[in-house]
Every structure is written in C-alpha cells, then in structure tokens.
C-alpha cells in the first residue's frame, strides 16, 4: 500500500504527498521534522516477500552497502543523499527534494506550441548532465546511472539541471562484477542493447553515453527515439535528427548519432568524448549520410578483413627484413 500523507517514518520524515512511481519504487515529498522547513524526497523500495529469507537478508545488506556509497557523493548536478534506512518490508533512501520541472515536461510544452526546445539551451543542459555523469564514472569503483531520460532530469528555478532518481544505479566492482541497488533494465526508449539483459548484461560507461544521446535526440526533435531492439532488426527505422528538426546543426546531429550507435565500440568511449563532439572539438568516428550509423554485418566483416590485411602485410614486411639481415 502507498504511504499516507501525514505518516511519519523513523520519527523524522513526515510524508506530505506522493510524487511519482517507478518500476521498483515510489517517491514521496516529505518534511524533515528535525530541520524545520527542509523538504526532502523519500524513495521507498518494497522488498519482494516471495523471495527466501536468505535472499531477502542479502538484498537488504546490499542496499545498505550501496546506499552508503551514494551518501558519499557530492556534486552540484546530483541530489544529495542524506539518509537511508529499512523498516518492515521496505528500504528507504532520503535525498534532497529538487524543485522545478523535468525536461520531459518542458519538451511536451514546446511540442504543444509547435516549437522545439532551443538547441543552445539543450546543449547547455547536456553539459551539466555530462558533468554529473563524469563525476559518477570517475568514482572508485565507477558508478553508472543506467536510467537517464528526460523525466529524470529536473531544471531548478536557478537554471541548474539535476540528474535525479538513483533507482537503477550500478556500481562496478572488480572483475566486472556488478552490484545494483534496484534491479531493472531502465526505460526501453533510452536503453542500449547491452542493458536489455538487466543485471546479466555487460554495461559500462558507454551505456550511459547511449542513454544521454537518446535523451538529447528526444529533447531536440520532440520525437521519442526508437527502441534499440527495433533498430537492431531494422536499422533504417530511426530517422536522422535533422530530418525531424532541420534547424539543428550538422555537428549536433553527428555527435548524437555517434552516441546512439547500437555497438558500444562504435560510440564515444566516455562522456567526456561525447561532450567534446557536441562542442565540435572532437570529430565523431561514425558515418551519418542521412541515416544513423548502424554498421551491418558486412561493415563489421569488412573492417575486420581490412585489419587482418594490414596485420598480414606487417608480418610479411618483417620477414623480408629478417631475410635481408641473413644475407
């Protein structure tokens, strides 16, 4: 059952109202009774009681470990995690309440008026988001967000964009083992192919690159990106950005097309590289030509063949050099 307004958690957080519900949890607006006037966002994650007692204990212990990591984060474009606790069959994460509208709402408003969000403004937002993601990715171990989308980005009244909802945060550990606060695949429209396996799929910083690219595609065209699964089956199904919004610069189109490539190896290898491409300081290593760069099997085979020929030529040159020395 949802939490009721007026209820108090941990003798401290009085629930004011329901905010939103995600795949694995609900978020509420609450007042901190110890700090008069402070509003916070409380995320409730209900445990699956069908699991064994041992699994439930492991899940709760995992939540405690990961929440401790999140509580150490401090970045202007991330809400501060101030508390975490468990009560009965739920785990709770307490964060700063971020006022303002989410970017999806701003995009919908522009679309209803027959307009696009200004490219310059969206790219300025992208710079702030990239800063937050670079900070997460630079942690030891690195942290992936895995659910970047317009509705998870809020623009505060003072112009700061904050990346909210840590529901699918993934902490990369040694040997590429992963720990996940709330298991899930993210939102399909913005999710790369490698993330479709949930926690069984291999994801890294390039998965967040894809999600940010897909988010910018949506914000700049007013059209949701096609799911990666559909694009894999039909590469031509997703229109290039400038066919939807001719006012966009070719540079922005090239950078975003690079970021949302289906193949991780064909994307920017870091958020910083993607940001440089958006600024025109790094040329995307991708083909656009009126379509999004989704290399076919033939493209991949051709690339591998070319590398093999270069390697073979190098070996032959070395053997010739050795033979010359023998004479």
What is the maximal distance between C-alpha atoms in the chain? 93
Residues facing 17 on adjacent strands: 29
Residues 6+ apart with CB under 8 A from 90: 44, 45, 46, 47
The DSSP-derived string for 119-148 is HHHHHHHHHHHHHHHHHHHTSSS-EE----
Judge if the upstream peptide bond of residue 141 is cis by omega within 30 degrees of 0: yes
The answer to whether 147 is a known catalytic residue is yes
Which of 32, 147, 165, 208 is the catalytic position? 147
Q: Report how far residue 3's alpha carbon sits from residue 144's, in angstroms, rounded to the nearest whole number.
A: 29
Q: How far apart are CA 57 and CA 89, in angstroms?
A: 11
User: Residue 139, Cα to own-chain centre: how many angstroms?
Assistant: 16
Specify whether the backbone of 37 is left (phi greater than 0), alpha (psi in -120 to 50) or beta.
left
| CA nearest to 244, candidates 232, 256, 234, 231 | 256
Closest CA to 157 of 97, 204, 207, 202: 97
Give the C-alpha separation, 191 to 168, whole Å: 12
Q: 306 CB contacts (<8 Å, ≥6 apart)?
A: none
Selection from 316, 315, 46 nearest residue 167 by Cα:
46
Which residues does 141 contact at the CB level (< 8 Å), separation at least 6?
171, 172, 173, 174
157: tokens are 């009244």
C-alpha dihedral sign at 143, 144, 150, 152 = negative
Q: Which residues are catalytic?
A: 147
């Amino acid at each position: 059952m949802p939490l009721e307004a007026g209820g108090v958690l941990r003798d401290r957080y009085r629930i004011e109202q329901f905010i939103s519900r995600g795949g694995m949890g609900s978020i509420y607006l609450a007042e901190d009774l110890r700090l008069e006037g402070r509003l916070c966002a409380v995320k409730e994650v209900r445990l699956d009681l069908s699991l064994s007692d041992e699994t439930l204990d492991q899940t709760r212990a995992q939540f405690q470990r990961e929440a401790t990591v999140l509580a150490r984060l401090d970045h202007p474009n991330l809400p501060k995690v101030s508390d975490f606790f468990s009560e009965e069959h739920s785990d709770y994460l307490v964060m700063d309440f971020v006022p303002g509208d989410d970017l999806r709402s701003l995009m919908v408003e522009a679309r209803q008026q027959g307009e696009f969000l200004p490219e310059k403004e969206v790219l300025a937002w992208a710079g702030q988001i990239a800063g937050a993601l670079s900070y997460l990715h630079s942690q030891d171990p690195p942290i992936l967000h895995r659910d970047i989308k317009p509705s998870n980005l809020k623009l505060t009244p003072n112009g700061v964009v904050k990346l909210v909802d840590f529901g699918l945060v993934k902490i990369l550990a040694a040997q590429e083992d992963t720990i996940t606060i709330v298991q899930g695949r993210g939102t399909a429209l913005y999710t790369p192919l490698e993330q479709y396996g949930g926690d069984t799929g291999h994801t890294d910083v390039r998965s967040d690159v894809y999600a940010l690219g897909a988010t910018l595609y949506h914000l700049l065209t007013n059209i949701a990106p096609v799911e990666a699964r559909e694009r894999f089956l039909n590469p031509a199904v997703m229109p290039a950005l400038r066919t939807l919004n001719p006012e966009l610069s070719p540079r922005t189109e090239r950078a975003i097309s690079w970021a949302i490539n289906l193949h991780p190896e064909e994307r920017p290898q870091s958020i910083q590289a993607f940001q440089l491409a958006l600024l025109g300081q790094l040329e995307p290593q991708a083909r656009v030509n009126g379509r999004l760069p989704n290399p076919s099997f033939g493209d991949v085979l051709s690339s591998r063949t070319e590398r093999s020929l270069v390697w073979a030529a190098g070996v032959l040159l070395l053997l010739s050099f050795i033979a010359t020395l023998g004479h």
